[in-house]
């Protein structure tokens, strides 16, 4: 999908917080995916592909997807999206991962060839923090 993401991620050292950071990144991408209250295969495939580019087999995507979806769903249902993004922001310290997140979120939002106003609002919040 985006060779630039893979190239950027190659420079990140693996460390104790890598899984926590990538879970937070997955939470962010699922938040974008759920913003329009729909989950479609195209968006899930985009999130899976991005996750595999970042971590390969080291990050068990299927194992982390359901909890990330539930966390994002709760944030939306409770109108706590900004706080959820603040938590994600505080978790991700990797400069390289942070710089890739806005592009990845935009790719997920556009995977179904339609960016809804809800997705646009979340993208704006992501841009402020990660672009």
pTM: predicted TM-score of the whole model, two decimal places: 0.82
Residue 97 lies in a domain: yes
Residue 91 lies in a domain: yes
pLDDT for 91: 93
Neighbours of 6 (CB within 10 A): 15
Are residues 105 and 120 in contact, defined by beta-carbon separation less than 8 angstroms?
Answer: no
Residue 70 lies in a domain: yes
Residue 12 lies in a domain: no
pLDDT for 13: 44
Measured CA to CA, the distance from residue 23 to residue 43 in angstroms comes to 17
Q: What 8-state DSSP symbol labels residue 51?
A: H
Measured CA to CA, the distance from residue 54 to residue 120 in angstroms comes to 24
Residue 48 lies in a domain: yes
Residue 1 lies in a domain: no
pLDDT for 15: 53
Radius of gyration of the chain (CA): 13
H/E element, 8: helix 3-9
What's the full length of the chain, in residues? 131
Residue 96 lies in a domain: yes
- Number of structural domains, the chain? 1
Domain range for residue 82? Answer: 20-130
Give the burial string for 83-118 (b: 16+ CB within 10 Å, else e). ebbeebbebbebeebbebbbbbbbbbbbbbeebeeb
**pLDDT tens, residue order, the chain (131 aa):** 455 555 555 445 455 567 788 889 999 999 999 998 888 899 999 998 888 777 666 667 788 899 999 999 999 999 999 999 999 999 998 888 898 999 999 999 999 898 999 999 999 999 999 87
Distance of CA 39 to the CA centre of its chain: 14
pLDDT for 30: 96
* Strand, coil or helix: 102: helix
Residue 6 lies in a domain: no
């Amino acid at each position: 999908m985006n060779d630039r993401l893979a190239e950027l991620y190659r420079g990140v050292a693996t460390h104790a917080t890598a899984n926590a950071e990538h879970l937070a990144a997955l939470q962010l991408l699922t938040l974008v995916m759920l913003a329009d209250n729909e989950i479609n295969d195209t968006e899930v495939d985009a999130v899976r592909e991005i996750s595999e580019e970042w971590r390969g087999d080291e990050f068990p995507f299927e194992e982390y997807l359901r909890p990330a979806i539930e966390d994002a769903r709760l944030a939306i249902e409770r109108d706590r999206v900004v706080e959820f993004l603040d938590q994600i922001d505080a978790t991700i310290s990797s400069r390289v991962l942070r710089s890739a997140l806005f592009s990845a979120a935009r790719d997920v939002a556009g995977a179904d060839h339609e960016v809804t106003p809800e997705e646009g609002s979340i993208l704006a919040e992501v841009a402020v923090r990660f672009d």
